[in-house]
Amino acid sequence: MLKVGLNPYGLTCAIGIQGANPKPLGLRGFVALAKELGSKCIELHNGHLDSLGLDELSHLGSELSAAGLEPIVSSSIDHLDTAFRAAAPLGARTIRVGLSPVLCGARAARPDWPQVVEHARSTLVSAAPTAARQGVTLAIENHQDFGSEELVDFCRAAGESVGICLDTGNPFAVAEAPIPFARVVAPLVRHVHLKDYRPQFTDEGYRLVRCAIGDGAVPFPAIASILDRFHSKLTASLEPGALEARHVRLLCAEWWQGYAPKTAESLAECLHAARVHHLPEDEDWHTPWERGDDPGAICEYELDMIRKSSAYVKSLGWM
């Protein structure tokens, strides 16, 4: 049973995280939209919470509780102190954690990749006791940087207070198919990002092009069935992909620097999964953001997509 709600990162222009929107929704408008759509949880951007005092955070927590919205604090690994500060008065039991700035699986662009890995590991090990004392779980995300087995290894190193935030679309970014990825991480999943992509194949690999949840290559009912074997209830937030398409250049030899060897069978499974609802190679993949449209048009594009995504998960009985 997924308790589905909103995520700020599919609405970055509309809520004022990205671009020059003259009238962003901001935190208040984001909460109002979550209520309007019948959300059961809400993931809150740490940057929106930093300026709030403890009394304001407590008031917000009470408001969310009264509306039946379970809060999740969203943070990078380098801002866990402020995430812990916000979680307690909000009543949040989960902090979603991004481990690195790497996108598109492009580890080769980071000559310091081993140091990035060690920083993530050591920070999680150090933060886990605080999470345990505070009664929260650090849910580390596959944010287009780490694979399924690597996330499991982080959890084993840090202990029971560290679990996984499964982003359903991001396995493609590290050359894994969504279903086998979900099978590996399922016992440790504590939160879910419902993301979909329409892959578009290129001479270097494939682009991951933003689309409404349910319109792309991610098999949501199959993933939910896997999670149901281990969990009676999980929070999940709608997160259409970024306004910029992600180009995963896995057909280039240098892209594989920093990865462990992969079997031909597992790579074939990924490429086969990416053919589902793929975008034809001659079709325009640009979003309104990439075309340089005005902020109003970009915001409408985001809001239309989140409403369509909400309608899809409601049709599955999740929201």
Report the interhelical angle of 113-134 vs 148-158 (nearest 10°).
Answer: 50
Query: What are 169's two structure tokens?
Result: 């679309």
Half-sphere exposure of 270 (CA within 13 A, CB side): 23
pLDDT at position 319 is 79
| DSSP assignments along 48-107, one per residue | HHTT--HHHHHHHHHHHHHTT-EEEEEEEGGGHHHHHHHHHHHT--EEEEE--S--TT-G
Tokens representing 177?
A: 């198919």
> What is the spatial distance between Cα 249 and Cα 252, in angstroms, rounded to a whole number?
6
- CATH number, span 2-315: 3.20.20.150
How confident is the model at residue 15, as a pLDDT?
A: 96
SS3 319: coil
Contact of 275 with 219, CB cutoff 8 Å: no
The structure tokens 């504590």 sit at 190
Question: How do the domains of the chain map onto residue ranges?
Answer: 2-315
**What are the CA-CA distances from residue 181 to residues 3, 157, 170, 305 (Å)?**
21, 20, 10, 26
Alpha-carbon span 215 to 202, nearest angstrom: 20
Using DSSP bridges, classify how beta strands 137-141 and 197-201 pair: parallel, antiparallel or unpaired.
unpaired
10-residue stretch averages of pLDDT, the chain, 319 residues long: 94 95 94 97 95 97 98 97 97 98 97 97 98 98 98 98 98 98 98 98 98 98 97 97 98 97 97 98 97 96 98 93
Return the pLDDT at 115.
Answer: 98
> What pTM was computed for the model?
0.97
Q: Residue 7: its pLDDT value, please?
A: 95
pLDDT value of position 264? 97
Q: What is the pLDDT of residue 1?
A: 80
